Amino acid sequence: MSSNVARMDLHDFAPEHDLLREKTILVTGAGAGIGAATALAYASLGATVILLGRTLAKLQHTYDAIVEAGYPEPLLMPFDLEKAEIETYHQMAAAIGQQFGALDGLVHCAAVLGQRTPLSNYNHEAWETVFKINVHGAFHLTKALLPVLHAAESPRVIFLSSSVGREGRAYWGAYAASKFAVEGFAQVLAQEVTQHPDFCVNVVNPGRTRTQMRATAYPGEDINTVPAPETHNGLMVYLMSKHCTGTNGLSFDAQ
């Protein structure tokens, strides 16, 4: 096991009801699965959440859930991490800077699974698509947003990884390789932000979670036996909050 892998006992963690009040947090993949649950959890603690994802209708679903619950109104940001030009990332970052002055948090939930097949059979385009979304998109977005993150008092960045991003497994192809890249990228970033007094960059491996991605990866499984995305709210909130101060460059197992 890599030396930066950590677990946290959050049994006694009861977040204050306004823990994330006045925070602005961008969550990618916010239209479904872990991204949607995380965005809702942050909003419930007072954050203004920027909902980024590929499909507007899915983002609207998360938006409606937040507004109906009476939480701060989120922002919709339909954005395709595979197709967007680099310039568009920077325009988005500039717009966030103009509206909010700073960005307190960034959570990278968006990802695709790609093919479950031997490397000898892996389709070239499918391989590149996985890397464009899971790795290059996360890099372009983080790079563009670094100035507004640095402008925040306690910036937090969370990457979502996977157990196959720490130990390779047959037939997980580009997805596994992309999650190794994400783990490495997060470690590099964590070391580079230390000139900021309270900048935390961490990784979460959620483990098996009841989402579309899990259902696609394990079609024969009864998805109802798998933990819900909300299971990870405690860790996702902790790592986004002031309680995370001093925790930087670690990779957490959520389960």
Ligand X SMILES: NC(=O)c1ccc[n+]([C@@H]2O[C@H](COP(=O)([O-])OP(=O)(O)OC[C@H]3O[C@@H](n4cnc5c(N)ncnc54)[C@H](OP(=O)(O)O)[C@@H]3O)[C@@H](O)[C@H]2O)c1
* Distance of closest approach, residue 175 Cβ to ligand X, in angstroms: 7
Sequence letter at residue 44: S
Q: Is residue 58 part of the contact set for ligand X (CB under 6 A)?
A: yes
Residue 232 makes contact with ligand X by CB under 6 A: no
Task: Let me know: does 176 contact 169? Beta carbons within 8 Å.
Answer: yes
- 42, 63, 71, 175: the active-site residue: 175
What would you report as the CA-atom Rg of the chain, rounded to the nearest whole angstrom? 17
- Please provide the DSSP assignment of 131-178 as one string: HIIIIIHHHHHHHHHHHHHHTSSS-EEEEE--GGGTS--TT-HHHHHH
**Binds ligand X (CB under 6 A): choice among 41, 149, 160, 203:** 160
Q: How far is CA 215 from CA 163, 208, 210, 221, in A?
A: 17, 10, 7, 7
Asked if 34 is part of the footprint of ligand X (rule: CB under 6 A), the reply reads: yes
Which lies closer to ligand X via its Cβ, residue 46 or residue 78? 78
Does 33 engage in binding with ligand X (CB under 6 A)? Answer: yes
Taking the mean position of all CA atoms in its chain, how far away is CA 71?
21
Check if 175 is active-site: yes
Figure out which of the listed residues 143, 208, 242, 243 binds ligand X, where binding follows CB under 6 A.
Answer: 208
Residues taking part in catalysis: 175
Query: What residues make contact with ligand X under the rule CB under 6 A?
Result: 28-29, 31-35, 53-55, 58, 79-82, 109-112, 133, 160, 162, 206, 208-209, 211-214
